[in-house]
Amino acid sequence: MEDSVKEEYFKLLRFESVGADPSKTDACAACAEYLSSWFGALGFTSEIVAPPDGSAPGFVFAELKSEGESRPTVLIYGHYDVQSPDPVEAWHTPPFEPVEKDGRVFCRGSQDDKGQSFALLCGMRDYISSVPADKRVNIKVVIEGQEESGSAFLMKSAPEMRRRLAADILLVCDTSAAEGLRPAIVAGLRGVGHLTLTLTGASRDLHSGVYGGIAPNAAQGMAELLASLHTPSGAIAVKDFLAGIEEPTAEELKYAEDGSPDDEAYRKDIGCEISGGEAGKSAVRRNSFEPTIEVNGMHSGYGGPGSKTVIPSSAVAKLSVRFVPGQSNVRALDALVAYLREKTPRGMKLEISEINYGAGGFRLPLASPVFRLAADVLAQMDPRGALFMWDGASIPVVSALRDASLASPLIVGWGQNGDRIHAPDESYSFRQFELARTWGYRILEALS
């Protein structure tokens, strides 16, 4: 990697652009400005589209028209916001200072998605500098600041910007390659939604002796409420949440199994049994084709050293869900809310807030021309050829951008499970960066 590129990359990483954290508004704005200038220097028209009241980080919208006639249009999507670095104390290096070690860059966002999307953009810059302007595709770019918290502003804006977003291909680099960096085309994504639960019992924390046996315990109640979400076999217990699910085809299941690590590799990666999801189904099926309800956090009462004999008056839990095709994200999340209300322990109040319906999941037809072209490019880059993958993760805004732009999504990323995205010590290797960059260059060339 040229020093100048590394300098740009590291500068991008140093912005503490945690889009979900209102205290990081300025860092997000500065990061967006930096990206917008970067596009400006390349000859793009570029602007930051943001809510007038400053209530959310804006997105960069940049455009470079081809000088040729009737050229196809590629819409590139990425995000500059990152997950919270919490728990900060678990990092081995400062979360917002890029540190090189063993050919990797350790930093929050080094992969997800500053690293992956910036690598793709560097490939795009290589393409622009080597392909004459009249031979190029039209390029539109959206880099947003709320992906990790639901993309609310971009999802709201996209339908109003249909004409400006109109494109043929929607190019996204925010996913993983298969094991050993074998290229992978994402043929489907799960959807995602989330909500916050607050359960309240007594009007204050109470002494566990004086009131024990009398007052309801909000921590115990929350534990019961959350435990009710799954059956003992790990299946989701919320029947109406599961309504309408489309089972994968035999072909999809076969491709998915082919592209998936084996159980032992998963065990080694996560450091424990792969006991998530419903017992009796394969790991890849549970991850790619089944929905989930995950507790992302739960907090109640005392957590310090020693003991505090208190009956907590309230408990908070954060849940996220993954949707699969056939589920309506709105109906499924409403069904979850109704179930939680029904299961609210006696004597307590349940408040549901920060509800985000997100977007449903999707699967794309394997035989499309775009997929064939991409497979050719990837086969040139790697003799093993590309796999199809159905990623368990979600990019809700891809659905919204697909609807607004009418483009075919082409989602190829270069992450690996060991990158520790969303966790302390996130990293991305220079090798991964260069693969993403090469991919960006070659696919644009192939589409030209």
Whichever of 115 and 312 has its CB closer to a second copy, that residue is 312
Q: What angle do CA 132, 136, 138 make, to 5 degrees?
A: 140
Q: Which two tokens stand for residue 349?
A: 């109040």
When asked if residue 99 is in the footprint of a second copy (CB under 8 A), the reply is: no
Q: What kind and span of H or E run contains 357? A: strand 349-359
Residues 314 to 333 in contact with a second copy, rule: CB under 8 A = 315-318, 320, 322
When asked if residue 67 is in the footprint of a second copy (CB under 8 A), the reply is: no
d(CA 156, CA 150): 11
d(CA 371, CA 243): 30
Residues 410 to 439 in contact with a second copy, rule: CB under 8 A = 417, 420-425
In the complex, least distance from residue 4 CB atom to a second copy, rounded to whole angstroms: 31
Instruction: Tell me the per-residue interface mask from 4 to 43 with a second copy, x by CB under 8 A, - otherwise.
Output: ----------------xxx---------------------
d(CA 234, CA 290): 12
Residue in 275, 280, 369, 383 binding a second copy, rule: CB under 8 A: 275
For residue 115, give the nearest of 447, 362, 416, 424 by alpha carbon: 416
Cα–Cα separations (whole angstroms), residue 70 to 137, 221, 263: 9, 62, 49
When asked if residue 356 is in the footprint of a second copy (CB under 8 A), the reply is: yes
Residues 241 to 270 in contact with a second copy, rule: CB under 8 A = 266, 270
Q: How many residues does the chain have?
A: 448
When asked if residue 280 is in the footprint of a second copy (CB under 8 A), the reply is: no
Whichever of 137 and 387 has its CB closer to a second copy, that residue is 387
Q: Which residues of 354-391 are buried (b: 16+ CB within 10 A; e: fewer)?
A: ebbbbbbbbbbebeeebbeebbebbeeeeeeebbbbbb
Residues 214 to 243 in contact with a second copy, rule: CB under 8 A = 214-217, 219-220, 222-230
Whichever of 280 and 369 has its CB closer to a second copy, that residue is 280
In the complex, least distance from residue 188 CB atom to a second copy, rounded to whole angstroms: 12
- Exposed, middle or buried, 269 (CB in 10 Å: 0-12/13-18/19+)? middle
In the complex, least distance from residue 173 CB atom to a second copy, rounded to whole angstroms: 15
Cα–Cα separations (whole angstroms), residue 150 to 105, 308, 394, 404, 419: 26, 37, 10, 17, 22
Total residues at the site for a second copy (CB under 8 A)?
100
Residues 190 to 219 in contact with a second copy, rule: CB under 8 A = 190, 192, 194, 196, 200-217, 219
d(CA 390, CA 266): 16
When asked if residue 88 is in the footprint of a second copy (CB under 8 A), the reply is: no
When asked if residue 82 is in the footprint of a second copy (CB under 8 A), the reply is: no
Residues 364 to 393 in contact with a second copy, rule: CB under 8 A = 391-393
Whichever of 326 and 424 has its CB closer to a second copy, that residue is 424
d(CA 247, CA 326): 9
Residues 37 to 56 in contact with a second copy, rule: CB under 8 A = none
d(CA 97, CA 122): 21
When asked if residue 360 is in the footprint of a second copy (CB under 8 A), the reply is: no
Residues 320, 300 contacting (CB under 8 angstroms): no
Ordered alpha helix ranges (H), 143-231 = 152-157, 162-165, 218-227
Whichever of 27 and 219 has its CB closer to a second copy, that residue is 219
Residue 31, phi then psi, degrees to nearest 5: -65, -45
In the complex, least distance from residue 294 CB atom to a second copy, rounded to whole angstroms: 5
When asked if residue 116 is in the footprint of a second copy (CB under 8 A), the reply is: no
Cβ-proximal residues to 337 (8 Å cutoff; 6+ apart), any chain = 195, 352, 355
Whichever of 82 and 400 has its CB closer to a second copy, that residue is 82
In the complex, least distance from residue 66 CB atom to a second copy, rounded to whole angstroms: 35
Residue in 301, 328, 382, 430 binding a second copy, rule: CB under 8 A: 301
In the complex, least distance from residue 161 CB atom to a second copy, rounded to whole angstroms: 24
When asked if residue 110 is in the footprint of a second copy (CB under 8 A), the reply is: no
In terms of phi and psi (left: phi > 0; alpha: psi -120 to 50; beta: otherwise), the region of 318 is beta
When asked if residue 403 is in the footprint of a second copy (CB under 8 A), the reply is: no
Whichever of 68 and 261 has its CB closer to a second copy, that residue is 261
The dihedral of CA 100, 102, 104, 106: what is its sign? Answer: negative
When asked if residue 309 is in the footprint of a second copy (CB under 8 A), the reply is: yes
Whichever of 283 and 378 has its CB closer to a second copy, that residue is 283
Whichever of 210 and 243 has its CB closer to a second copy, that residue is 210
When asked if residue 150 is in the footprint of a second copy (CB under 8 A), the reply is: yes
Whichever of 180 and 304 has its CB closer to a second copy, that residue is 304
Residue in 173, 311, 350, 389 binding a second copy, rule: CB under 8 A: 311
